[in-house]
């Protein structure tokens, strides 16, 4: 596998994309085109820049301050093959992993076998914030999400129980 990934950017020590100090990787490429998206420059699949995944992983693992990883975007599920490679290594190193996506958890589960990397990615993340951003459902004070339709899902419990289990945050 080519160990490159196209990213829109990186937030090196974020406190707003999940609990604790996190490294946030902004995936390049999104098909959802949500009205009011705060990252429209991440939509073009050819934008951003190619980065070496092993270097990105090593940089995280060398920083004891970083407790978790967040995949944002764009839509991380458009780069699931590459992000699942990174997620596996982060999980082996006991990092908490969150991912955002415009897809719903149900859509992802129904398409696991049809989309490269989706199964590996969903199996290596702890929390999924799912659903498209909906401008008319934007509310002040929402924690870790942009609109009230988006759910904060405990992936491990949801996979175990075969139904969506929300985190109480």
pLDDT in tens, 4-28: 999 999 999 999 899 999 999 999 9
Question: What architecture is domain 4-161?
Answer: Alpha-Beta Barrel (3.20)
pLDDT score, position 2: 82
Hey, where are the domains in the chain? 4-161
Q: Is 2 exposed, middle or buried (0-12, 13-18, 19+ CB in 10 A)?
A: exposed
What pLDDT does 169 receive? 79
**C-beta atoms surrounding 67 within 10 Å:** 15
Average pLDDT for 48-73: 97
pLDDT at residue number 11:
96
pLDDT of residue 1 exceeding 80 = no
């Amino acid at each position: 596998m080519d160990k490159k990934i196209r990213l829109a950017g990186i937030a090196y020590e974020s406190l707003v994309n999940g609990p604790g100090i996190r490294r946030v990787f902004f995936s390049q490429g999104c098909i959802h085109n949500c009205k009011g998206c705060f990252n429209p420059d991440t939509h073009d699949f050819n934008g951003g820049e190619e980065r070496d995944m092993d270097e990105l992983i090593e940089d995280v693992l060398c920083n004891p301050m970083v407790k978790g990883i967040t995949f944002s975007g764009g839509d991380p599920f458009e780069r699931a093959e590459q992000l699942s490679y990174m997620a596996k290594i982060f999980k082996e190193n006991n990092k908490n992993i969150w991912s955002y996506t415009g897809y719903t958890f149900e859509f992802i589960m129904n398409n696991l076998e049809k989309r490269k990397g989706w199964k590996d990615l969903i199996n290596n993340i702890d929390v999924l914030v799912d659903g498209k951003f909906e401008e008319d459902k934007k509310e002040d004070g929402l924690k870790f999400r942009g609109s009230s339709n988006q759910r904060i899902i405990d992936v491990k419990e949801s996979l175990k129980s075969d139904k969506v289990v929300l985190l109480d945050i």
